[in-house]
Amino acid sequence: MTSGKISQTKNYNNSATTIAEFYDELLKTMKYLPLFLAFVFATSLSFAQRKPNDQYVPVKFKEIQYPLNPLSDEIKTYTAVLEGRMSYDEAKLSNLIIIKSLKRDNENPDLTIRVKVPDEGFKPKVEVKKREETKKGKVVRTYYYVHVSEVYNARYTFYNTKTDKVIAEGNIFASVQKDFKETRTKRAAMQDYKNAVEKNNFLMNFEKKMLFKVLKKNYNQLRSHFEKMSVERDLGVGKVKGKGDRLPDVQKAYKLANEAIEAFKMKGKEAFTKKLNESIDIWKKALTESDLKKRKSRVNDRITRMLNYNLSLAYYLLNDLTNSRKFAQECKKIKGVRYRANEIIKLCKDKEKRYKANNIQFN
């Protein structure tokens, strides 16, 4: 009985010692708590001031494209001539070349359209190629197939018969290719190709496909030179990647720009101009904070490049081509992806040509 009481007393003493040791260790640990909290605060602050990044969201819209060479009132008729060596009737194919605004007159045309394909004719390149199937780095099976391809460098000329002058001319590059089915031997692959040529008129149909590609590209050139039409642009508007907590003003401008483009699509000119100009003001103000050397600055190199691109796009939409080119060039000065700025410069150059040809005012 006595020994039981003594044992119980010992357990209590051990428990008391353990608790005392625990609190002692806790007090020692608490000494480092301020250092730990300071580390957490510094880390969170560093994260909050992380490097701002840019992101481009695709945006599509349609705009009027004016003709490069608007037809004068005196041009009322046209004819089309297809030249060069081909297996098809040139006269029938030339009937596929159409200008909707003019009347066809093969005897006394005001405008003559010439499309010349290569004199050597259609001579596609025929190759036997192989595809190897591997397993664990070793070739376990080989397949063979015939690859047929051809490239045409055709030539188009738009000729004013009345003034005896060439209105426009240029090259048309077109290509076609086909892979035949895979076989286990080269001989079987070639036999499959020969059967297609002899029994299914493969080469005739292949040439027809090429000629239709040439005519389609020529038709696109005709429209570009002579017709006023609506064309779709596929560009992008820059925004701050993520939530953009450090750049709420730039995020607001992005939202306004999207609303402006939607108004542009709906032909709401007043809302479009107002919202886009608001975006321009915000982007310009943000540019005054630009610091290209500090990666974690609010407006670092990437954000600066994005702001310049957005301003270039905005001015392009407002037909202010001078400012559009100016900010596109500023965008290109900063290292990184430049194709967006180059695309805007290309569009500005084309729009300026078309506006001048049609006596349309622009900045």
Q: What amino acid is encoded at 263 in this protein?
A: A
Q: What confidence score (pLDDT) does residue 39 get?
A: 46
**Beta carbons of 70 and 357 less than 8 angstroms apart:** yes
Q: Look up residue 29 and give its two tokens.
A: 């640990």
The token duo for 354 is: 């078309």
Long-range contacts of 292-299 (CB under 8 A, 24+ apart): 292/334, 295/51, 296/49, 296/50, 296/51, 296/52, 298/52, 298/246, 298/247, 299/52, 299/247
- Whether the Cβ atoms of residue 97 and residue 218 lie closer than 8 Å to each other: yes
Asked if the model's pLDDT at residue 93 lies above 90, the reply is no
Q: What does DSSP assign to residue 267?
A: T
Per-residue pLDDT averaged across 326-333, rounded? Answer: 95
User: 3-state class of 340 per DSSP?
Assistant: helix
**Which residue do the tokens 């010992």 mark?**
10
Percent of the chain with pLDDT over 90: 67
Percentage of residues in the chain having pLDDT higher than 70: 85
> At what angle are helices 321-333 and 301-317 packed, to 10 degrees?
160
Q: Which pair of tokens denotes residue 76?
A: 């009322």
195 vs 3 pLDDT, higher one: 195
Residue 65 vs residues 68, 149, 230, 312: alpha-carbon distances, Å: 9, 34, 6, 19
What CA–CA distance (Å, rounded) separates 193 from 228? Answer: 45
User: Between 47 and 73, whose confidence is greater?
Assistant: 73
Who wins on pLDDT, 47 or 136?
136
**pLDDT band with cut points at 50, 70 and 90 for residue 337:** confident
Pick the CATH number of 54-65+229-357 from 1.10.3470, 1.25.40, 1.10.1040, 1.10.150: 1.25.40
CB atoms within 10 A of CB 64: 10
* C-beta neighbour count of 39 within 10 angstroms: 11
To which residue do tokens 């602050």 refer? Answer: 45
Phi and psi, residue 80, nearest 5° = -125, 135
48-60: pLDDT as tens digits: 445 788 889 998 9
pLDDT at 42: 43
- Whole-number pLDDT of residue 12: 44
Q: Span 119-140, mean pLDDT? A: 92
Domain boundaries, the chain: 2-48, 54-65+229-357, 77-226
Q: How confident is the model at residue 10, as a pLDDT?
A: 47
- Section 159-185 average pLDDT: 94
| pLDDT tier at 336, thresholds 50, 70, 90 | confident
Task: Encode burial over 155-169: b for 16+ CB neighbours within 10 A, e otherwise.
Answer: bbbbbbeeeeeebee
What are the tens digits of pLDDT across the range 225-266? 999 999 999 999 998 887 667 899 999 999 999 999 999 988
Residue 285 has pLDDT above 90, yes or no: yes
DSSP state for residue 360 in the 8-state scheme: -
Q: CB neighbours (10 Å) of residue 282?
A: 20
Mean pLDDT of the chain: 87
Residue 273 CA to residue 267 CA, distance in Å, equals 11
pLDDT band at 47 (very low <50, low <70, confident <90, very high): very low
Q: Which fold has domain 77-226?
A: Double Stranded RNA Binding Domain (3.30.160)
